[in-house]
Amino acid sequence: MQPRRVVVTGLGALTPLGNSVDAYWHGLTNGVSGADFIKQFDASKFKTRFACELKDFDPANYMDKKDARKMDPFTQTAVIASDQAVLDAKIDRNTINVDRVGVIWGTGVGGMINFCNELQEFAQGDGTPRFSPFLIPRLILDIAAGHISIRNGFRGPNFSVVSACASATNAIIDAMYHIRWGKADMVVTGGSENIINQACVGGFNAMKALSERNDDPKTASRPFDMDRDGFVMGEGAGALIVESLEHAQARGAHIYAELVGGGATADAYHLTAPHPEGLGAKNVMTQALNDAGLNADDIDYINVHGTSTPLGDVAEVKAIQQVFGDAAYKLNISSTKSMTGHLLGAAGAVEAIAAIQSIIHGIVPPTINHFTDDPQLDPKLNFTFNKAQQREVRAALSNTFGFGGHNASVIFKKFVP
């Protein structure tokens, strides 16, 4: 059979810049930083005391309180973002075959907040095991996909993808393949992550992965800046409705963009550090271009992984220059993590939405917090520093790389009927 074209028809987002796609995009294009001092716990004794938390977020504003109590925050945000996307796509369950609608979701860590809370309560007790019956259903990483399917009655392929910070991008790629090869007509996909708690902040601090710029949190995420000192944790969720072109047209859906290619590779190098020459990143972008049937000069914008770590940013730029050659100088490159922080397993989803929005609006969001050029990076590259830029974006590539050497890239293209 001929592979089917795959299109995006619905979007949903909860991010540190706002609790909707419009609020998120407004924050990105205006160069707003989502970083501030942590409010979810007392971080005064931690090396890093700030993060990019959700603002004005109360799950009770979106769902029944009884339902919310059954979910860890990573599931709450997954359900809410997917609700937004389902509504945006105008899905009528009475007119589609729900047996061919899947949910493929990504998360890197899963229900860590409730898990840590339960263990802390147990440790402070008398040793009697008084655990919630929802401990395990809140914890397991597949449960967000389960909740989304139950809530909507979608009975197609249903599973979660775990590849650290590449999780949501891998989920989107799996969704694309399921539709491309006729295993489903429509998939709710994306990712969520909510792990801003003592264990995770402390754990990343112990690895020396986080910025410790406590004197100025809003400028702490500095991708490609010479003084970058680590990433800033973020939280939230992004959801996309992807479906076959035929299915979308048959139900009269609005099409945002076409999902044309993806790639997945491994560095096979180190548990946490990227390959210094960007070998895995080079291979994954090449694979995505080949899968999409595009040449390097067909891409106008790369939403880079760009975490603001000393090693990672340099390796990714080396990979871009190897893949794109002279075409690299015609690209816009930007790291939206400079504003949202790093949403870990959800990063690929919210950054895919940024890439899609750049195609729709002809605007490339900036890399904010740039103060000093890094002599390791080619100054002739356009990193879209500090201010959004207008340009036609025919196709956009989004990179996400995870601990363990996981690399994933997706390409979205302006839809042409």
Residues catalogued as catalytic:
165
Report the C-alpha gap between 177 and 184 in whole angstroms.
9
Structure tokens, 246 = 């035929």
Contact (Cβ atoms closer than 8 angstroms) between residue 298 and residue 395: yes
Report the C-alpha gap between 82 and 189 in whole angstroms.
8
Contact (Cβ atoms closer than 8 angstroms) between residue 411 and residue 262: yes
Q: Give the single-character DSSP code of 298.
A: G
Please report, to the nearest 10 degrees, the dihedral formed by the alpha carbons of residues 188, 191, 351, 393 taken in order.
-20
Give the 3-state secondary structure of residue 141. coil
Q: Which residues contact 417 (CB under 8 A, 6 or more apart)?
A: none
CA angle, 178 then 85 then 259, to 5°: 40
**Region of residue 65 (left: phi > 0; alpha: psi -120 to 50; beta: else):** alpha
Q: Which residues contact 318 (CB under 8 A, 6 or more apart)?
A: 277, 278, 282
Structure tokens, 96 = 């589609």
Q: Give the single-character DSSP code of 22.
A: H
For 170, half-sphere exposure in the C-beta direction (CA atoms, 13 angstrom radius) is: 21
